[in-house]
Structure 1
Amino acid sequence: MVDIVSRIQQLLDKEKPFALARVIKTWRSSPRPVGSAMLITDDGEMHGSVSGGCIETAVVKGALEVIMSGQSKVMDFGVADEEAWEVGLSCGGSVSVLITPFMEDDAYVKFLRFLDKNKPFFILTRLNGPSHSNPIYLDRMEDELAGNPVLVNNINNAFESGLTGAIVESRAGDEYFAHFFRAKPRLILIGSAHITSELLVLASMHDFETIVIDPRDTFAKKTSRQQEPNQLIVKWPQEVLGEMDLDQNTFAVILSHDPKIDDEALKIILPSEMKYVGALGSKKTHAKRVERLKTYGFSEDEIARIDAPIGIDIGSQTPKEIAISVMGALIKAKNA
């Protein structure tokens, strides 16, 4: 759903009616996972996808009805359904899509604010009863859920299991769709160079939060970039990395080509829980790096965490190609 955020903001600014269609349940083979979303305006404009094309026409028709009526609806598609065959859902599975109408500005503004914080939150939408058309945007178990411990427990269990969304029940048997949004993966780039600039573009495309750290003022501030990082820190790595939460949602790429910078970063990164660390350089350069790290007391297992030479082997030659190779390795690690 985050891929349609910019369009939501534009429509809010224009006060243009729209509806959101979200996949809330799948069975067996399905083109798109739970949580996939599509935005539909009152004149049929689409952004995003709920199936990759096979049910979009029917969903747009349903969304236009929702915009007109102001009432949410759930559309079910499966291979046994005449409409599903008509629109091409022949993958052998089934999918349920929740369509909700444009709500008051405050609700979507809250959604955009939560995304900007890059903290976990969820949208809770009742699927039965009179209030099912009013999603609740929560960044924690707030007062809205007080007195409903069964629902809270079911939401927590679904979130902890790693699901992107789930249909959960309250003690009274009411059904809700809990749509989870997790913090973006965080990419720390040590060193500002040409490859850094190319990586920032790809990282933004793939929804990474980016931090560039480089103590060299000229490199940090005067390198031309098509995409700016979320944070640019002109300090030595050892001055800032120790204050960061280097958890399983954090990734690092070492790019400065200067051992005085790179090694200091690795001294802090290697003992951390960070999910991925890669370092630029040839096999010869990395062999020298390994010897230095051994003198600092790092074990072979710790040093083996470093992906070097960095990236997926695609025979990269140019900075753009190297950046693609590195991004491939980052995505592979993220999805592992």
Structure 2
Amino acid sequence: MNAAETRALLDALKAATQQGQRAAIATVVGVQGSAYRREGTRMLVLDDGAQVCMLSGGCLEAEVVEVALEVIRSGTPTVTHYDLSEDATWGLGIGCGGSVDVRVEPVEGDDPVMGAWLRALENGELAALVVPLKGEGRLLITPDGATLGDLSPTSLRDFAVQAAQARLGQLEPRAVTLAAPDGTPVFIDISMPPPVLVLYGAGHDAMPLARGAHDLGYEVHVIDPRGAYLTPGRFPGAILHDLAPEDLAQFTPPARASLLIMNHHLDRDRVCLQHALWSGAPYVGVLGPLSRAQGLLDELKAEGVGFSDAELARLRAPVGLRLGAEAPEEVALSILAELMAWRRGYDGGFLSGHAGRIHDAHTHAASPALGASPEQ
């Protein structure tokens, strides 16, 4: 579930609470075979039957709303299994060939764990919520090991803390259901900070890229020494930085940020590339052909600026998926598609002919790092 969906759900929940409405949150906690969405997808259901966000392509929502209304009335969480197969007698007759498990729980205003979890989602804080799908209790866990709530027995709690912290250490942690040593199915939901995209350059082609990233829930930063280009009208929702190349040290990219160099100016691009590669950011992209990025590296090397193999391994050029993109909006789509594939561990290839689960990641081998010698 991306940051934009989470924001919409939380805004609707806040408005409903202010109006005195009761609500429940439905969460996909298990997927077997093919399904439209993955574990961690959430939907809000209000006591009048209204819903916000979707768990599928429209297949499950009516069924889940009925379950959620009963949960709101009873106050008791429940997990329901939905068969999406073509068998219209025993299943929903949707034809996806898989099944999903959906947990629905009421939103109770006096529940400290639920309150802390909703605040973590709203503030974009890294945290995990662990819920046993059989039994009671839940545990909120932060990366530093702090916890709120409880699980029993102690062995289940220890497993939950260890498994949650392992996932929180990943670049792009995703929700998952795991089996504890005693066989108890345990759902680990994840709250993540919004992804961050930093654009070095505020030219015309940066505008659709910033707009598209913002629509996908990114926190967007735009850096350019030309203050006249840095306006909310050109970059709505973005954080703007009027910085000359020699002042880039004043800007530290947020953790896990993706950086993209697109000044269309060789001198600025060269300085920005050095700043980006030395920042420790896991993704550094250079717009334009491979020869241009290699030229920037060669010029920096001639100036005595070198990079480690680890730094060069984070460099991607040219950026984007091979879509035949030409117009700025098309290039933006190509870049955003690559960023999504890279963050989630996919190779960005065609789905046509893929016989496995649509959401299974298949990552190809990494290409040789730019700037590395042939023998490497």
TM score, norm. by length of structure 1: 0.80
Residue of structure 1 equivalent to 2:259: 252
Partner secondary structure for residue 87 of structure 1: coil
Q: Which amino acid aligns with 2:336?
A: M
User: How do residues 1-336 of structure 1 correspond to structure 2 at under 5 angstroms?
Assistant: 1=1, 2=3, 3=5, 4-78=9-83, 85-104=90-109, 110-129=116-135, 137-139=140-142, 140-142=145-147, 144-145=149-150, 148=154, 150-161=156-167, 162-167=173-178, 169=180, 176-220=186-230, 222=231, 224-225=233-234, 227-229=236-238, 231-236=239-244, 239-240=247-248, 244=252, 249-271=256-278, 273-281=280-288, 286=293, 288-296=295-303, 297-298=305-306, 306-336=315-345
CA distance in 2, matches of 1:91, 1:315: 31
CA distance in 1, matches of 2:339, 2:117: 27
TM-superposed deviation, 1:75: 0.7
- Cα root mean square deviation, aligned: 3.6
CA distance in 1, matches of 2:99, 2:151: 34
Q: Which amino acid aligns with 2:226?
A: R
TM-superposed deviation, 1:91: 3.4
CA distance in 1, matches of 2:130, 2:308: 47
**Judging changes above 3 Å, is the alpha-carbon distance between structure 1 residues 332 and 201 closer, same or farther for their aligned structure 2 residues?**
same
8 A contact 2:206–2:262 mirrored in 1: yes
TM-superposed deviation, 1:62: 0.7
**Judging changes above 3 Å, is the alpha-carbon distance between structure 1 residues 58 and 325 closer, same or farther for their aligned structure 2 residues?**
same
CA distance in 2, matches of 1:128, 1:311: 44
Structure 1, unaligned runs of 5 or more: none
8 A contact 2:139–2:147 mirrored in 1: no
TM-superposed deviation, 1:309: 4.1
8 A contact 2:85–2:95 mirrored in 1: no
8 A contact 1:12–1:105 mirrored in 2: no
Determine which structure has the larger helix proportion and give its number: 1
TM-superposed deviation, 1:273: 4.4
Per-residue CA shift, 1:304-332, capped at 9, x if unaligned?
86444432343434322222222122223
Task: Give me the identity figure in percent.
Answer: 27
Partner secondary structure for residue 265 of structure 1: helix
**Judging changes above 3 Å, is the alpha-carbon distance between structure 1 residues 70 and 146 closer, same or farther for their aligned structure 2 residues?**
closer
8 A contact 2:45–2:68 mirrored in 1: yes
TM-superposed deviation, 1:52: 2.8
Structure 2, unaligned runs of 5 or more: 168-172, 346-376
TM score, norm. by length of structure 2: 0.72
Q: Which amino acid aligns with 1:119?
A: E
8 A contact 2:84–2:91 mirrored in 1: no
8 A contact 2:82–2:91 mirrored in 1: no
Partner secondary structure for residue 144 of structure 1: strand
Partner secondary structure for residue 100 of structure 1: strand
